[in-house]
Amino acid sequence: METSELVEALTEDILTYVMHGEFPEDQLASDLKHSELDERFDDYELLMDLHFILKNDLIEFVEELPHQIRSIKTQTRNVSNTQRGAIDGKINWSSTIKERYSGNPGDNSLFVTENRTEHYDIDENIVLKKLISLVYHTLQEAQEYLERDYEWVNESWSRDQIEEMERVFERDVHVKRIRKPQEYEPTDRMLNTAENSRQKIYRDAAKLIEKRKKLFDGNEDEIRELLDETAVTPDDEETLFELFVLFRYISTIEDLQKDSFELKTISSDKQEIARIEGDKEIVLYHDNSASDRNLSFKPEALEKDKEENFSRTEKVHREAHNILDNYFQDKDFQNQTGRPDVIVLEIIDEDENQFDYLITEVKNSNKEETIRQGIKETLEYLAFLRVDEDLVFGNKENEDYFGPDMNGVLVIQDLKDRKTNKRKDQETINIIQASELEDDLPELLKDKISL
């Protein structure tokens, strides 16, 4: 499956699920962000703004800003003041006489004066100030990345440009005189006024604000551009492919069980993505943590006490864990990772006290060696899958360590010019190519969850 096809499919998925509030936005942001960005950019809006300030047309606007800012518009208005003694401004004799006779006719020291003042808070300037504020604050959030020699940043922002942007926002006399826009501003009327201005700076500012609004509203072209640009997407296609597979699971479950299907927008400390309520509880997870359900993948070798009972392979696993545990002084490293980056479908029948699982590993490759590694990892996940520290599959009486009914799935990229067995003729786990997902996944899930 080509990158363009992945982008096209994910664009539709984001429009269908994320922009309607049915899929956790922050989880999508976490998956899409560049690997060098910290957890602050798991915030969907902040990631979108980072993408926004890396756009070429925004950079061009910033480059022209120091010269154009000098010609911004103001309005003048007369301000009346009542004064005694000293006179500051032009005397308004008509108002002065009225004021004297209304209070103290004999007070010849009272005057009403008028002064003309410049007024910066016009619609066009509010639009401009909003755009400059957005760029400035996003630059502040990304400061540490902008100071490093990252190619994905340096292609857009130079140190001189950043410093000039900071100077404009913090010290430019014209910008400082424009009031801070309200949360709801600029309004549509303000944007319309700016769009129709004779001055280029206002037209460009309105156009960029509208472009950002489209990105947040889920405009298809803007989302496609986001996924196309590597500046804020993963360094390789692996995560895009994982997201593609995850959304295929979501859409298939939705098609199979529309009435009781619930796709949840969940806080960042939850990994549950979709849920079906009914005679059986069916939950879909995706992430590298399983604290919600106490799911884990822990090799048995780490629990044995007597080394003489270890096989050679177990000794290697145990020694590797000990070396790493000793090396990292903060003890954050653990061999027990909770859950690898796999998709887990959990089926619970509380009445019968039964649990079943479907573990899906995703490999964005069609190379035989990578497929072999994927098969090995999928088998390991099944063999060491635990709930509350207890192994799920296999025991001393039953050595069916990989599950009784094809409990593993490996999704790979399409194999060209290679003959492979269909799913019904495969052994132990299901191996599905990307182009086969649409046909094979509904049948597989229908059999598994017994709808």
pLDDT at site 131: 96
Contact predicate 335/302, CB 8 Å: yes
Kindly report, residue by residue over 163-192, the tens digit of the pLDDT: 898 999 999 998 999 999 999 999 999 999
pLDDT at site 111: 84
Strand partners for 263? 274
Strand partners for 432? 411
The amino acid that residue 444 corresponds to is L
Exposed/middle/buried for residue 14 (C-beta within 10 Å: 0-12, 13-18, 19+): buried
- For strands 354-363 and 408-412, give the pairing: parallel
Alpha-carbon distance 55 to 207, whole Å? 13
Helices (H), 69-186: 93-103, 123-141, 143-146, 151-154, 159-171, 173-177
pLDDT at site 93: 84
Which sequence spans correspond to the domains of the chain?
Answer: 37-70+122-228, 75-119, 238-298+336-449
Helices (H), 143-295: 143-146, 151-154, 159-171, 173-177, 188-195, 200-217, 220-228, 238-256
The residue with tokens 């889920």 is 218
Alpha-carbon distance 56 to 119, whole Å? 32
Residue 325 has pLDDT above 70, yes or no: no
Q: Tell me the pLDDT band of 135, cut-offs 50, 70 and 90.
A: very high
- Tokens standing for residue 288: 């590298």
Residue 328 has pLDDT above 80, yes or no: no
The pTM (predicted TM-score) of the whole model is 0.59
pLDDT at site 124: 94
Kindly report, residue by residue over 297-324, the tens digit of the pLDDT: 665 555 555 555 667 776 776 677 677 6
CB-based contacts of 30-35 (< 8 A; 24+ apart in sequence): 30/268, 31/234, 31/239, 31/242, 31/243, 32/226, 32/227, 32/232, 32/233, 32/234, 32/239, 32/243, 33/232, 33/233, 34/152, 34/231, 34/232, 34/233, 34/234, 34/235, 35/234, 35/235
Q: Tell me the pLDDT band of 74, cut-offs 50, 70 and 90.
A: confident
Dihedrals φ, ψ of 402, to 5°?
Answer: -105, 15
Greater model confidence, 291 or 443: 443
Q: Tell me the pLDDT band of 289, cut-offs 50, 70 and 90.
A: very low
Task: Please give the share of the chain, as a percent, with pLDDT higher than 90.
Answer: 18
Residue 35 has pLDDT above 50, yes or no: no
- Is the CATH number of domain 238-298+336-449 1.10.3470? no
Phi-psi sector, 85: left (phi>0), alpha (psi -120 to 50), beta: left
Looking at residue 282, what DSSP letter applies?
A: E
Alpha-carbon distance 178 to 90, whole Å? 26
- Tokens standing for residue 327: 């090396």
- Helix and strand numbers (H, E) in the chain are 17, 13
